[in-house]
Amino acid sequence: MAPDALGQTSPKTYLILFQNDKEIRPTGGFITAYTFLTLDKGHISTSVSDDIYRLDERLLATCESKICPLTPPAPIVKYLPEVTGKPRSAWSMRDSNISPDLPTAASEFERMYSLLGGGLPFDGIITIDTQVVEELIAITGPVEVYGTNYSAEKDPRCNCPNVVYELEHYAEVAAKGEQDRKAVLGTLMQQVLGRALGSGVDKVPDFLTSGVRLANDKHIMFFMHNLRTQAAMSKLNWTGQIQAFEGDYLHINDANFAGGKSNLYVEEKVVYEIKVDSSGNVSNKVTIEYKNPQPFNTWLNGILRDYVRVYVPKGSKLVSSKGSDDPVNTLEDEKLGKTYFDAFIQVRPQNSRTLSFEYTSSVKAQGKSLPLLIQKQPGAKDHHYIVKVNGSTKAEFDLTSDKEFNLNF
């Protein structure tokens, strides 16, 4: 699929969405900026680049002149207040990625975009986060855009890579709506990708290795309009899909709703305890510890307001839960074929919170074996997991990508 997807046979234009993983959302981060990237026989160009607020301003103006079917989902109404503190009454493109399934979220974004008129002038959506820009710049070397230098060197202002500091600064400027803000994403990506494609042969392995790892770890994801291309990407697990699976299943999904950039500092530890009885019946307990070790005055730190969803096999039954600020609900996502439990917590700097869910799984063990799939949330840090079966630790790891097991007991 590569020659056609890269514009070798005919030009291809993709909508690049920048998801800020430091403000985690279901598909990887708060949608901060966008750019249109065209590939044509090795030539790269960007036509339009701006922050997402400009696009939402156009959507709001369009919807004021006609009826728009944009009723926000219940979690956005409840947990994502307007600046005035009132519940959100409109659904915007920057909050369109409420589904943990990227194809579903991307389709919702495209539905909103189509309301602007002119159809969809692109061949697919590619999402990236700060990790992508940081790793590519580490290979290409520093890039200057509008007088600002972007590099992978540690910046003393944040004790983080300079490119992360500058991107977060840009996000803050965009959020405040300053009129003289410049859309840097398109120019930055054009320069980075131009350097990547124009680099010497000795750099090619570095770019390929980095690109594949970033896609495997869900920092780059693809939603292609060409069905064959999308199917090929799906086989590589580069499409951010919630997978169907014959066995036990777990996906923990966090949504930072008006909690600033606190995901810079919050760490998660997950203990997944599985009990299997003599008849093969499975009962599970998921314990999630959220910890922010940094003080309030740390750069961009704040109170994490986290809408948490735990996705499990369809038909699983919640027995008990602890730690949520609001009552935990059991809900069905018919489209994704999963049951999920939702909760809400707030994690203050230099504090921790623990959530736990006990439930009976709808799957049964086959003899002395239980298949298990744990799916990583796109954009999330490599959170630490411990998997136990009947009290015995079977696996301990940092979740860098989706992991499949065949647990024996």
pLDDT of residue 63: 85
Is the pTM here over 0.85, yes or no? yes
* Residue 207 near residue 196 (C-beta atoms within 8 A): yes
Q: Which two tokens stand for residue 341?
A: 């439990």
Burial environment of residue 186 by CB neighbours within 10 A (0 to 12, 13 to 18, 19 or more): buried
Mean pLDDT of 94-121: 95
**CB proximity list for 179: less than 8 A, separation 6 or greater:** none
Residue 341 per-residue DSSP state: E
The pLDDT confidence band at residue 175, using thresholds 50, 70 and 90, is confident
Output the CA torsion sign for 157, 162, 164, 166.
positive
End-to-end CA distance of the chain: 42
**Rounded mean pLDDT of 327-332?**
98
Whether 284 and 332 have beta carbons less than 8 Å apart is answered as no
d(CA 398, CA 361): 24
CA distance 163 to 355: 33
263-294 pLDDT tens trace: 999 999 999 999 999 999 999 999 999 999 99
Please give the torsion angle defined by the CA atoms of residues 256, 259, 260 and 261, in that order, rounded to the nearest 10 degrees: -50
Every domain range in the chain assigned CATH 2.60.40 = 248-408
Dist CA 382 CA 376 (whole Å): 9
Mean pLDDT, residues 32-38 taken together: 91
Output the average pLDDT for the chain.
92
Contact 174, 51 (CB under 8 A): yes
pLDDT of residue 366: 87
Dihedral of CA atoms 206, 208, 210, 211 in degrees, nearest 10, equals 150
Cα separation of 308 and 352, whole Å? 15
**Which CATH number is correct for 248-408, 3.30.70, 1.20.1060, 2.60.40, 3.40.50?**
2.60.40
List, in sequence order, the alpha helices (H) in 199-306.
204-216, 227-235
